[in-house]
Amino acid sequence: MKLCMIGTGYVGLVSGVCFSDLGNDVICVDRDIQKIDGLKKGVIPIYEPGLDELVLKNYKNKRLKFSTDLKNSISKSDIIFICVGTPTKKKDNSADLSQIYNVAKEIRSSISKFKIIITKSTVPVTTGDEIEKIISQKVSKKLFSVVSNPEFLREGEAIRDFIYPDRVVIGTNDKKSNRILKNLYSPLTSKGAKFVNTSRRAAELIKYASNAFLATKITFINELANLCEKIDVNIEDISIGMGLDKRIGGRFLRAGPAYGGSCFPKDTKAVVTTADKFNTSLSVIKSVIKSNQNRSSLLLKRVFNILKNKVKGKKICFLGVTFKANTDDMRDSSSLSMIPSLIKKGAKINYFDPTGEKDEFKKIKNVKFSDSINLAIKDSDLIIIHTEWNDFKSINFKKEVNKKNFVIFDMRNIYSPTKMRNLKIKYFGIGR
């Protein structure tokens, strides 16, 4: 099939490459000329395990193309996926849909034969209705069908998630579109993924409901970790004991820093504002958002306690600054608020991240990037394990750190407290 992905970010690039690998002809379009030029030369704009090999393979065999020419790419394709960003509007926390509606306007001037137009971007319920309205102002409804097909891939595991999804959700009442999309996704459903056909509005809401539920799970275990710290109980035991119940499940039930990334913070806010618009209060999700917003300051307080409130002049090392491992995405990472707060208190920050130096910290005085773990931790008073990269799981701290009384604050509970005690290392984890 001939596909066009509009927006070549995490979702557009990963799903475009995977669709081409499944035998489709795919054009990935972006308005970012530099990004497209880079991709044509084999420069992959994001860190995602396995992505570069797959891009090179499919670009070479010409099933995958990159372009900035939206009009031409649309006219050559049968199925158009909208994969542009839907960030949070600062004004009212709702989803900013300007990129979506701009694309809808561009699409309507490029349709001359039947196209399926799919929102893969996460969009509030009724956005599909609005896209249909915009396009039908210039194009007969017979020439297009607007479908919702939310994407559930996780950064860091995006390719595997795309190829082996739990489910493929298709929101449309149009039988022809449903049949074509069932066929498009058949290589995935034949391997066990469930195909869910529902209404467009339901598909839109399924995505928000799923993300809000996962954010709730994380926040729930984070709050329980706060209790565990007061009663000498290990939160890891609680996660295991709860997670083994099949009705609950162990995933997204590990205590740590506030949830971050490009999806949970913005999607929880957006679903709450959408519900408010329909005079419905999603009070559970509202309190999840509040609790998560408080989490970074709560963990900062713990840092101050660990340092006995003597932060000035202390050398603090962050191992990992992205919101989770195996991605270079810094969007809404808790390090973005923690590091500047520690700097304000007079700390000196050294950080190492396997995905390299971050623009976000380049201009902050007293924040330094080290290009190896050893260099980063060498002179530290406090080492904060912020992100759960495998690279951080077997460090010989005793050998690598020069300071005698250094402390470790393991925000991911990677290390065993007993082992650390035996090594005579001052060690703090989360909820234990």
Measured from the CB atom, the residue of 30 and 381 that comes closer to ligand NAD is 30
Distance CA 150, CA 164 (A): 15
Query: In this chain, which of 11, 22, 347, 367 binds ligand NAD, going by CB under 6 A?
Result: 11
**Binding residues with ligand NAD: total (CB under 6 A):** 27
**Is 86 one of the binding residues for ligand NAD (CB under 6 A)?**
yes
Asked if residues 35 and 13 have their Cβ atoms less than 8 Å apart, the reply is no
Distance CA 430, CA 302 (A): 10
Main-chain phi, psi angles of 394, to 5 degrees: -140, 65
**Is 30 one of the binding residues for ligand NAD (CB under 6 A)?**
yes
- Give the number of C-alpha atoms closer than 13 A to the C-alpha of residue 122, restricted to the C-beta side: 29
Measured from the CB atom, the residue of 262 and 268 that comes closer to ligand NAD is 262
Distance CA 229, CA 221 (A): 12
Cβ neighbors of 9 (< 8 A, separation 6 or more) are 30, 46, 83, 84, 85
Binding mask 55-84 for ligand NAD (x = CB under 6 A): ---------------x------------xx
Q: Which amino acid is at 296?
A: S
Residues designated as active site: 263
Query: In this chain, which of 6, 54, 215, 275 binds ligand NAD, going by CB under 6 A?
Result: 6
**Is 8 one of the binding residues for ligand NAD (CB under 6 A)?**
yes
How are strands ordered across the β-sheet holding 115-119? 64-67, 25-29, 2-6, 79-82, 115-119, 144-148, 167-171, 194-198
Options 30-38, 56-64, 354-362, 417-425: segment touching ligand NAD (CB under 6 A): 30-38
CB-based closest residue to ligand NAD: 9
Query: In this chain, which of 22, 29, 321, 385 binds ligand NAD, going by CB under 6 A?
Result: 29
**Is 122 one of the binding residues for ligand NAD (CB under 6 A)?**
yes
**Is 102 one of the binding residues for ligand NAD (CB under 6 A)?**
yes
Binding site for ligand NAD (CB under 6 A): 6-12, 29-32, 35, 70, 83-86, 99, 102-103, 121-122, 151, 153, 155, 262-263
